[in-house]
Chains A and B, each alone.
Chain A
Amino acid sequence: MKTVLLFLCLFCYLIASAQDSTSRRPVLLSAVATYDFAKSYGASFEISAPFHSIANQNHHESSSVRTHKDQFISLELGMNRRPFAYTTAYFNMGVGLRFNRCAKHFNEVSFEQGIQRTFYDGKVYQEQPDGSIKERTLFGRTYASSGLSCAQNWSISNRSGNAWFIQLRPSIWIQYPYNSFVKPHFSLQAGLTYHLRDVSVHTRTKYKHQS
């Protein structure tokens, strides 16, 4: 039985991994509008750069398909507003995986860790030790944030370079310590991604032959 299974595996499929080489992978810029349920909206700017890539070369009988799985880091700077409440400025760093299965579309999953600062709407008042009331300017709170997101990107370029993509990115994240606990968030981001340039990254290529 073991021999039969081994035979079937070898007959149908063959994987060979090469040593690390380099390939040119894209650095991407994104500008997105954000809606954070239930009441906040804003915009953010993100840059992501790959640091490692795994290429899969699939050889079928009549065709050959090359796909990439890029590991990347990202930096995001943005601002959200919740009317009649506060404005939040935030900075996130992320790490994630980008899956390129065809030239016209790729998707990403990433984990972000960041810091945010809220600034309250209207005036902020505080009682002083002498009992008087004083206004505080630019008063707010600093929170940490952690989140997961999953982005879909579709090319809108006619040229072969695929410079522009439309991005849709739902994410869940938490803000803490918020009233000694965590405040959950669900956000939806939509915007544009721009293929800035290609950089050389270490790449491990896996060759798969399927008959």
Chain B
Amino acid sequence: MRYFCTAFIILSLPLPFTACKKQFTGLSFHANEIFWVTNNGADMPVRVMGNTSSKVIILIIHGGPGDGSFDYEDARTERLREKYAVAFWDQRNSGASAGNNNLRTLSLSQMINDLEVVVKVLKVRYDGADIFLCAHSYGGLLSAGYLVKDSNQGTVKGWIDIDGAHDYPLTNALSRKMLIDTAQSEIFKNHYVLEWQLILDYCASHDPLSSYKVSSQVETYAHQAEYYMGIQQNYSLSLAEDPFDGLANYYNLNYSSAGIDFLESLESLSYSDQLYKIETPTLLLWGQFDFVVPPAVGENAMANLGSSYKKMALCPHSGHHPMETDTDLVEDEIISFIENFK
């Protein structure tokens, strides 16, 4: 029995020592820390990595909805983390966010409220640090909703929008148009003829604005189109992410009635007519071959934004994920933007 107790104690000993980096210990050049924000039934992790001493924080607003922020963790933000701190926030029902019965609260307005709280916590925790929102894809809709609401834009120094879908109906329509136009030219060039013909036939006969099902199918074709255009794709799962979390979130969004209702509710959302309210400096980064959220959506944002400084840069080797395929260009643009407005 004595040996048995000894074995148990030895097995338990390493546990307390695994949390040595978790606590906030002040500003650092090489921070790697986590904190959580709990808001209306969802507990959302925010992992902060990089140079918090810079007092500049880039808050990642990931896409999806339902993906995780840790997808942006590795080389895609390496240089940014040397100069600034990068905060990886998992939205509710995404990534490693947890909670009990919280799916009923899933809505864009709730997520905007979550973002308000996360920004407020970052300000408190990092003593008034400069915050730049860095949104991707669905994050573009979420961050646009945040910025046009009340006086929220006063809390951040800048908005970096990477292939952001601030207008879903426009995105759907332009995605279909880009697929049809490209399919015709690629078939003419004899590239992936069968594949492009399938896309052309479907897009020509289906309007993504007619139903969520059609819109989803067009999005699937839009991702495939990147491959046919020779865009390098890297969808490897981040090692920091628990695949079982992803499984639960994927089921929730795509197979539960609350999740499907949420996704369907996004299809009609547009902030195009409110972008004029945004006066925050804005950097738009777009993959030239993004069929999911085409560059024309970015041009729409450029035309409507009320910002005194707004710039759009096209990434020539990229589809929907320029931070993966044009990492250097994306980081250079972000660093230059932040240096101007921090």
Contacts and interface: CB of A to CB of B under 8 A. Distances in A.
A84 B34 contact: yes
Given A133-B124, A180-B101, A124 B11 contact: no
A184 B271 CA distance: 38
Contacts of A99: none
Contact of A31 (B7, B15, B19, B244): B7
B34 A180 contact: no
Contacts of B110: none
B22 interface: yes
A145 interface: no
Contacts of A75: none
B75 interface: no
B19 to A, nearest CB: 6
Interface in B211-259: 240, 242-245, 247-249, 251-252, 256, 258
A160 B245 CA distance: 47
B38 A178 contact: no
Contacts, number: 143
A43 B11 contact: yes
Given A45-B8, A120-B36, A83 B121 contact: no
Contact of B100 (A139, A143, A194): A143
Contacts of B72: none
Q: Which of B24, B104, B248 has the most CB of A within 10 A?
A: B248
B15 A81 contact: yes
Interface in A111-147: 118, 120-127, 131, 133, 136, 139, 141-143
B99 A126 contact: no
Interface stretch (B90-98, B132-140, B187-195): B90-98
Nearest to A127: B117
Contact of A84 (B3, B47, B252): B47
Contact of B36 (A29, A37, A81, A123): A123
Contacts of A55: none
A196 B3 CA distance: 12
Dominant secondary structure of chain A at its interface with chain B: strand
B33 interface: yes
Contacts of A177: 100-101
B163 interface: no
A83 B18 contact: yes
Interface in A10-36: 29, 31-33
A10 B104 CA distance: 65
A185 interface: yes
Interface in A150-196: 177-185, 191-192, 194, 196
A183 B244 contact: yes
Contact of A179 (B7, B23, B103): B103
Chain A interface residue bracket vs B: 35 or more
B120 interface: yes
B128 to A, nearest CB: 13
A45 B12 CA distance: 10
A9 interface: no
A31 B100 CA distance: 30
A198 to B, nearest CB: 15
Interface in A68-125: 79, 81-87, 118, 120-125
Contacts of B300: none
A136 B38 contact: yes
B248 A181 contact: yes
Given A133-B120, A177-B101, A179-B99, A139 B38 contact: yes
Interface string B118-161: 00110011000000000000000000000000000000000000
Given A43-B8, A179-B248, A181-B256, A122 B15 contact: no
A120 B248 contact: no
14 contacts: A37-B244, A43-B11, A87-B19, A120-B43, A122-B33, A123-B23, A136-B38, A139-B38, A179-B249, A180-B100, A180-B256, A181-B248, A191-B7, A192-B4
Interface of A: 29, 31-33, 37-39, 42-43, 45, 79, 81-87, 118, 120-127, 131, 133, 136, 139, 141-143, 177-185, 191-192, 194, 196
Given A43-B11, A180-B102, 6 more contacts: A38-B242, A127-B117, A142-B100, A178-B248, A181-B103, A181-B251
Complex A-B, nearest 10 residue pairs according to Cβ-Cβ distance, in ascending order: A180-B103, A31-B8, A43-B11, A121-B22, A122-B35, A122-B34, A124-B36, A125-B121, A194-B4, A122-B22
